Amino acid sequence: MKRAFEIFRRDVNRLSHNMVAMIVTIGVCLIPSLYAWFNIAANYDPYANTGNIKIAVANADKGTENELIGELNVGEEIVQNLKKNDSLGWKFTDEKKAVQGVKSGKYYAAIVIPEDFSSSFVSILSGDMKQPQFEYYLNEKKNAIAPKVTGTGASTIQEQVNEEFIAAAAGSVSKILGQTAEQMGTQVDTVQESLIAKMQTAEENLEEYQVVLENLNKTIDGSDDLINGTQETLDALKSAVASGAKSMNNGTDILASVRNSVGALSVGLSDGLTQGADALSGISSAVGTDLGKLNEKVQNVNEKIGNTITSMQDLISKNEEILTVLRELDNQVPGNPLSEIIEKLETENQRHKEILKNLQTGNNSIGNAVNTSVQGLNQIASVIQDGQKNLQTSRASFEKNVLPSLNQSLDSFAQLSGKVSGVLAGVEPSAEQLKNVTGDLKQTLSDTKTAMESTKEALDDVQKKLNTAITDLGALQSSDIYLSLKELTKKDTGEVAEFMHSPVQLETKSFYRVENYGSAMAPFYTNLAIWVGGIVLIAIFKMEVDKDEKIKSFTVTQGYFGRWILYITTGLIQALIICLGDIYLLKIQCKNPAAFVFAGLFASFVYVNLIYALSITFKHIGKALSVILVILQIPGSAGTYPIEMTPAFFQFVHPLLPFTYGINAMREAIAGIYGMHYWKNILCLAVFLPIALGIGLLLRPHLLNLNYLFDRKLAETDLMICEEEGMQREKISLSTAVKILAGQDEFRKSLNDKIEKFQSNYHKKIRRGFLAIVVIPIIFLILMFSIDSKMVFLVLWIASIILIALYLIVVEYIHESLKRKKRLSEMSDEVLLKEVKENTQRGEGEQ
């Protein structure tokens, strides 16, 4: 690198001793910064000057009048609000002048409020809705950005009108809502008191109902004991009847014996009559005793069952009262929460009615059975009494009418005995029937008791829910909803309207806040200026190193780095001036100035390497490639718009462009560094350095003849700039020299054949190339305008031009290469060897 620094010192010495060169160099260092500064300053805060953009406003609104809203003129309110608004240059005129002013370019846009604007607003109240709208006229030719700004102004007016209308409507609705809420509050209090009173009545009925249930259960328990006693009495009655029937049978047997012992009639008959009278007396006594007991028991059962029936009737009546209250409550409470309880109580009440019916039927059956038994026993007693009287009569008149009336008495007694036996035979079935009835009655009372217990559980549940409901209703006045309803009546309609005017407030929390648009655009314009500065360096300073008395020889690499140092140094000065001017002259926001300056210097180092490598390697094509790269990087680096908003092609090339990482690194320094993002972008930018060095050091030696061709051809025009030093280093192929020396005549013949064959088609190939470079791009241009995928055809159009240009360059290079070989073949061996020796020395670095 010693020779490279010698070249650099010589270059600096030449510049420092030439005042004009120094002025130009200073200008080269300053011009890129001016490019950045002017653009940043122009875009520093453009929206602060939107008041200079003229927008015409024409109000033709006639206003309207409505019973609910009153007089309304929305157009006039808009005009008054706009007169207080200086965000845009509002100019108030009539419709004709407004529209004409937009056409002529006097105004950027115009807003015309029609005469039915206000009436359209209130059309919603009549049911015949008509959407209010104003007319917006725009001159899009006047400026690219102005339509966006004026469109924002029109949208602002629309939003303001909507907000004011909502606020007015909300005020009216709030007033009505307050009145309604007050009425609702009064109604709620009245309904609440009514509900609580009804619920308390229902609760009192439930308590009485519970008492009735307890008494009924006690009555049922007592009735059960009575029924058991009655059944025992019936069993005793049956036994007495059986004993009487047996006695009657014995009396019959005695009568038969008396009838057979007529001979001992006087003695036997008297004894038989006495025994018959005693038997009848015993039967009468037993039957009378049992009948008295049965009658007493049955009367007790009837009384208890009657009490049970009365309690059941009271129970059903109370249940009906409770059901009536619950139905009223259920109808007044939304959602019918008591329907399930009402249904359950109705089922229980129906069950009670069926039990009551069974009790009444059983009680009637018992009464009928007892009456039948009593009638039978009364008949028995009457018959026995008649028999006793007859026996006494027979016995008294025995002596008078013994024999004559004996048979008659015996027959009467026999008849009496038959009647008694018949009556006794009827008593036992009646007693059995009565026992069955009491058994059924006992089961009915058991079912009644079970039903009462189920009813008691249901009533307990109802009472709990009623207590809860009463508590909830009592707490209603202290609930949040009720208090909110009461509070609603106190709301100021103006406050409600103001709230509805802007019900949602946006709270913005910015990360990495950028104070102004100029600071946000500074990374893009700074990187662009640095790249432009590199192109300016290539345009001003020569790339090829010349020789003089101090530096007579150097290698290709030494020459490359010798001029490279000059470019890099000047590029770093350019970047330093740009970055320091951004911070301290324009005073852009910058959280980390050191990082910002370093990013600018490193970006310049990378950009100048790329531009220098492309330009020195490909000459004018390389310079063109540098310009193409900057063209791609302006939309493809996301310097202005988010890359997601650009076409797919630019999204694809975005990560392949150095601008992407240079801009991102500066953004980190301006707004704040997050993690390792800054250094990641620096490292990604560094990837382009080996690419640039590979092009300049490895690829360039293989293109010396091509560069020589370009320089010589451009020099022939006497119009286009070329470097003389590049024309002196045509490279001779060693393999060609060896072939010439080994068999000059044979090689010359073969070479002449190739030249002749190539030359015969050379002009055709050139003409075809130039024809293709015109026709093919035109085809792609036509397709680009007729097919939606414009970006694809634009890329293909550019690619086709590059490919055709490369084709022409290759054809011309082959043509020159054949001519060079022919020239070498015509040299003598001594001259050829001398040329080869000089060429070899240049390949080793000598010149």
| C-beta neighbour count of 652 within 10 angstroms | 11
- Which range is least confidently modeled, 54-58, 173-177, 654-658? 173-177
Residue 752 confidence (pLDDT): 78
Per-residue pLDDT averaged across 211-235, rounded?
59
Across the chain, mean pLDDT equals 72
- Which range is least confidently modeled, 631-640, 642-651, 669-678, 825-834? 825-834
Residue 269 confidence (pLDDT): 45
Tell me how far apart the alpha carbons of residues 806 and 787 are, in angstroms, rounded to a whole number. Answer: 28
Residue 280 has pLDDT above 90, yes or no: no
593 or 730, which is more confident: 593
- Which range is least confidently modeled, 210-214, 422-426, 788-792? 422-426
Residue 20 confidence (pLDDT): 92
Banded pLDDT at 499 (limits 50, 70, 90): low
Most confident of 62-71, 579-588, 762-771: 579-588
CB contact at 8 A, 722 and 714: yes
- Cα–Cα nearest to 512, from 590, 594, 598, 603: 590
Please state the pTM of the whole predicted model.
0.56
Bridge partner residues of 54 (DSSP): 89
Residue 837 confidence (pLDDT): 64
Residue 65 confidence (pLDDT): 76
Residue 593 confidence (pLDDT): 95
Residue 845 confidence (pLDDT): 46
**Pairing mode, strands 70-72 and 64-66:** antiparallel
The widest CA-to-CA distance across the chain, in whole angstroms, is 211
Per-residue pLDDT averaged across 127-141, rounded?
77
In order, the DSSP letters of 643-670 are: GGGS-HHHHHHGGG-HHHHHHHHHHHHH
| C-beta neighbour count of 13 within 10 angstroms | 11
Helix, strand, coil shares, percent, the chain, to 5 = 80, 5, 15
Residue 847 confidence (pLDDT): 41
Contacts of 649 (CB under 8 A, 6+ apart): 791, 792, 795
DSSP H or E stretch at residue 26: helix 19-42
pLDDT in tens, 446-477: 666 565 566 656 656 665 665 665 565 555 55
Residue 30 has pLDDT above 90, yes or no: yes
Phi and psi at 66, nearest 5°, equal -140, 145
Residue type present at position 208: E
- Cα–Cα nearest to 412, from 195, 602, 251: 251
Residue 232 confidence (pLDDT): 62
* Burial tier of 331 (Cβ tally within 10 Å: 0-12, 13-18, 19+): exposed
Banded pLDDT at 212 (limits 50, 70, 90): low
Residue 440 has pLDDT above 80, yes or no: no
pLDDT in tens, 167-198: 554 554 455 445 545 555 565 556 555 555 65
